[in-house]
Amino acid sequence: PLHSTEKHGNIIFAVHWPWCGIPDVLSMNVVEPYEPVQHHWFYNQQVDSKDSWQPFSREDSRRLEDAYSRVGKCEKDEVVVATDGRRYDVRLRERKCYSVYWEQKPAEVKRCAWFHKGSKDMSYTPYSEELSDILEDAYMIAVTLDEWKQNLELPTGETVILHNPKVFSECKDFPPSPTERTQPRTLKRGIENIPVEIPEVDHLVFMVHGIGPACDIRLRGIVQCVNEFRIASNSLIKSHFRQSENLCIIGRVEYLPVNWHKVLHGESTGVDKDIERITLPSISRLRQFSNDTVLDLFFYNSAMYCQTMVDTVASEINRLHSLFLQRHPHFTGHVSLVGHSLGSLILFDLLTNQETDADGKPHEVCSSAIILHEDAHVDTGCSSYESLEEVLKGHGLEEYLSVLHSEQVDMESLMLCSEKDLKDVGIPLGPRKKIMNCVKKWKHSRTGSGHAAQNETHSPSLGMRNAHEHQTPTTSAVDYQHFDVGIGQVSIDYPQLAFHPQALFAMGSPIGMFLTVRGLKRIDPNYSFPTCKSFYNIFHPFDPVAYRIEPMILPQDVDLLPMLIPHHKGRKRMHLELKEGLTRVSSDLLGSLRMVWQSISQVPSPALAEGGISSMTPTDEVEVPPMEQKERNFTKVGMLNRGRRIDFVLQETPIESFNEYLFAIQSHLCYWGSEDTALLVLREIYGNIPKKRHLH
C-alpha cells in the first residue's frame, strides 16, 4: 500500500514509505490531555426553608483547599479555617461552618467539583464529595481513551451520560419510561466567576434592634436583617466607591448584630412566666404578640428591666468588640453604632451617660457602680466620699459592719447589692430596709446640686434649666429621679463602652418623643455626646414610631424641613419629581390668577398694582425642596452632629405614596433593606472620599 495508518490510544500515526519518492513525514493528531478539575468549597444556606448552596470566595476556598491537604497528614487534630471576613469558622473534619459573633445553627460545608440542575431549578446544586469523585474518574477515563457517550450508573440509581468534554446529562430512568417522560438534568464540571477575596475591614458597626424578636415585615431576626444590610452595603461600595476600592483607599464595613431581646425574655429574668400568669386567655395570639413586642417599651421604663436591657446591650457590644479585635489584630479603623426603634433610644441613653478621663479617653469597663445622669457625670468611688463605716454609723447601723466586712462589702459593692443579697447574709428585715434607704439617700446626695454644678462647665447639659431648679425628693419604692434637667428618667447604673464611637445612626427612632415625655422641652444647642462626635436621625416619612430631633434644638420660630436622602440611583424618585413639578405649576397658575383678579377688581393705578404685587407673602412662593436647600437657609443645628444636619428623611416609593396608612407598619421596618439608608451610612463613614459620579 501507499501508506498505512494505525491508531494507538489517542495518537494517530501516518507513515509514508520512502521508496515512493515521498519524503518522510510523521504527523500527530493529539487529543487534548486530561486536566484535573479545580475543586471549590461551598456552604449550605437556608433560604425560605430550602437548601441553597453558596460558594466561598476564591481566597477562602483556596485557604480551605490548602488546609484540606494538611488534614490528610493530621489524623487526629481538627483544622479550623476562618472564612467570610472571619465571621465564620469552618471545621474541615466535621464539614461544618460555625458563626463566631452570634448564635446560629452550623451550616454544612462541601468540597465541590460536579454540579447538577433540573429544568425548573434556578441554580446548580453540588453533588456530594463521593459522587463527585466517581464522576471525575469517569471523565478522566473518557478523556484519556477518547470514548464518549458511555452510560455511568451512580450508586443513587441515576444514569449519567458523558456526551463530550463539554456536555453531560443525567436521567433517573434509563432508558426513559414510555409512559412517563422525564427531563434529564444538566451536569456541570467545575465553576467560574467567583469573587477573588473579601477586602479587609476598615470600619466596624454594631446594629441594635428594637422591640420584639422580629425586625422586619418578613418576621426575620436581627441576624438575617443585618446580613441583608451588609450585602446592600457591599454592593453599594462596588457601585458608588469603585474607584476608591480599586485604589485600596477603602476596604469594607463590618456590621455585627446586637441581640438584647433574647436575654430580657430568657429564663434568667423570668419575666415571660410572670406575664403569662396574668395574661387573659382570649385572643391569645394577639396577646402573645403584645407580650413579645409592645411590653418591651414598658420594660425600658422599669427600674429593674431597664437595667437589664442597658447592661445587655453594653456588655454584648463590648464582648463583640473584644472578639472582633482578637480576630482582626491589625484593625485600626473607627467604630459606629446603629439603632432601630427602641434600640436607638437605648444607645442614645448609653452615649449620654458615658464618661471620659482628663485626656479624653473612655473609662475602663469594670464592675464598679457608676450612677450617670443626663447632665451630671458622677463617679461614686468610695475614695472620694464618705466610707461605708461613716454612712452606717451616722444612721445607727454600725453593728452590721462586721457582717458586711466578713463578706468583703464596701460602699461600691453595697450599691450593687439588692435587698435579697442583704437577706442572704443574715441581716434582719428592719435593718435591711434602713440600709437600702441609706444607700438611696447616699445616691441622692451624690447627685445633688453641688456636684452637678461642678460638671456644668465641663459637659453641657441636654436641657436649658439650671441644676438648682429640680431636686425632687423620691419616696416611692422605685427610684424615679427628676434630675437637674427634669427628664424623669429611671435611675440606673449606666455601663461604659470600651471605645469612642464615631457616629450614632438612629433608624425609625422615638428618641424625640421619649425626651419630651420625660419632661425635656429643649436640647441645649451646645450639648454633644461625651464620647461620640456625630448623630444622625433617619426616618421614613410614614413611620408612625419615628420623631424628629432638630425642632428640640432650634428656636421655635425656625421651621426647618428634614434633609431628603437622595435615591441610591441618583436624585429624587420620579413620582416625587412629578408631584413637585405639578405643585410648582399649580402654585404659579394660582399666583397668576390672583394677580389677574386683583387687576380686574381694583382701580387701575400704577401704585396699587405695584403694591399688590409686592404685598405677596412668602407663603405664595413655591416651596424649595429640602434636598435643594442651601446652607444660607439655616445656621448651625446644635453640636450633636458637629453643627451639621441631624434629621434625614427617606423618599417613599411610588406604591407607598398611594396610601400612607396602608404602609405605615411596613415603613417602620423598611430600614434593614433600604439601600438609601445604607448609602447614607457609607457616605457619612467614609466622608469626602471620592465616589463614582452618576450620569442622569
3-state helix, strand, coil in the chain (%, to 5): 35, 15, 45
Percentage of the chain modeled with pLDDT above 90: 34
In this prediction, residues 456-484 reach a mean pLDDT of: 38
pLDDT digits (tens, 9 = 90+) for 581-598: 555 555 555 555 556 545
Q: What's the pLDDT at 232? A: 93
Reply yes or no on whether the pLDDT at 221 is more than 60.
yes
pLDDT digits (tens, 9 = 90+) for 321-331: 999 999 999 99
Return phi, psi of residue 104, to 5°.
-160, 145
The DSSP call for residue 501 is: -
Q: Which helix (H) or strand (E) holds 572?
A: none
Q: What's the pLDDT at 624? A: 36
What is the bridge-based pairing of β-strands 96-99 and 107-112?
A: antiparallel
In this prediction, residues 420-434 reach a mean pLDDT of: 78
In this prediction, residues 547-557 reach a mean pLDDT of: 92
Q: What's the pLDDT at 404? A: 83
Residue 680 contacts residue 536 (beta carbons within 8 Å) = yes
Mean pLDDT of the chain: 76
pLDDT digits (tens, 9 = 90+) for 356-398: 765 555 555 443 332 233 333 333 333 334 577 777 777 677 7
Q: Which range has the worst mean pLDDT, 66-70, 150-154, 482-486?
A: 482-486
Residue 310 contacts residue 296 (beta carbons within 8 Å) = no
Question: Helices marked H in 518-660 — which ranges?
Answer: 574-601, 606-614
From 509, 510, 538, 542, select the one nearest 661 (Cα to Cα).
542
Q: What's the pLDDT at 333? A: 92
In this prediction, residues 474-493 reach a mean pLDDT of: 47
Q: What's the pLDDT at 75? A: 57
> Between residues 412 and 79, which one has the greater pLDDT?
79
Q: What's the pLDDT at 171? A: 75
Please state which architecture CATH assigns to domain 393-440.
Orthogonal Bundle (1.10)
Residue 237 contacts residue 682 (beta carbons within 8 Å) = yes
Residue 430 three-state SS: helix
- Long-range pairs for 682-685 at CB < 8 Å and ≥24 separation? 682/233, 682/236, 682/237, 682/240, 682/241, 682/253, 684/503, 684/505, 684/534, 684/536, 685/203, 685/205, 685/253, 685/334, 685/336, 685/502, 685/503
> In whole angstroms, what is the distance from residue 461 CA to residue 526 CA?
8
In this prediction, residues 153-176 reach a mean pLDDT of: 79
Beta strands in 165-323 (DSSP E): 168-171, 185-189, 201-208, 252-258
In this prediction, residues 21-36 reach a mean pLDDT of: 59
Q: Which three cell numbers stand for residue 498?
A: 470600651
Q: What's the pLDDT at 30? A: 57
Catalytic residue of the set 132, 233, 336, 341: 341
pLDDT digits (tens, 9 = 90+) for 243-294: 888 888 898 999 999 999 988 888 778 888 888 899 999 998 888 888 888 8
> Between residues 75 and 108, which one has the greater pLDDT?
108
Q: In angstroms, how far is CA 74 from the centroid of its own chain?
A: 39
Q: What's the pLDDT at 175? A: 56
> In whole angstroms, what is the distance from residue 175 CA to residue 161 CA?
11
In this prediction, residues 112-134 reach a mean pLDDT of: 88
Q: Which three cell numbers stand for residue 591?
A: 399666583
Q: What's the Cα-to-Cα distance from 159 to each of 175, 177, 529, 530, 689, rounded to whole Å?
A: 9, 13, 68, 70, 57
Q: What's the pLDDT at 388? A: 76
pLDDT digits (tens, 9 = 90+) for 168-179: 877 765 555 554
pLDDT digits (tens, 9 = 90+) for 619-662: 333 333 344 444 444 568 889 999 999 999 998 887 766 777 78
Q: What's the pLDDT at 595? A: 63
Interior CA angle at 417 toward 412 and 422, to 5°? Answer: 125
> In whole angstroms, what is the distance from residue 178 CA to residue 227 CA?
48
> Between residues 241 and 568, which one has the greater pLDDT?
241
- Show me where the domains of the chain are located: 40-189, 393-440
Residue 466 — very low, low, confident or very high, per pLDDT cuts 50/70/90? very low
Rank 362-366, 442-446, 485-489, 684-688 by mean pLDDT and report only the highest: 684-688
Catalytic residue at 341?
Answer: yes
| Burial track 89-104 (b if 16+ CB lie within 10 A, e otherwise) | bbebeebbbeebbbee
Q: Which three cell numbers stand for residue 221?
A: 431576626
> Between residues 460 and 345, which one has the greater pLDDT?
345
Q: What's the pLDDT at 22? A: 43
Please count the residues of the chain: 696
Q: What's the pLDDT at 433? A: 72
Beta strands in 224-313 (DSSP E): 252-258
Residue 467 — very low, low, confident or very high, per pLDDT cuts 50/70/90? very low
User: CB count, 10 Å around CB of 424?
Assistant: 11
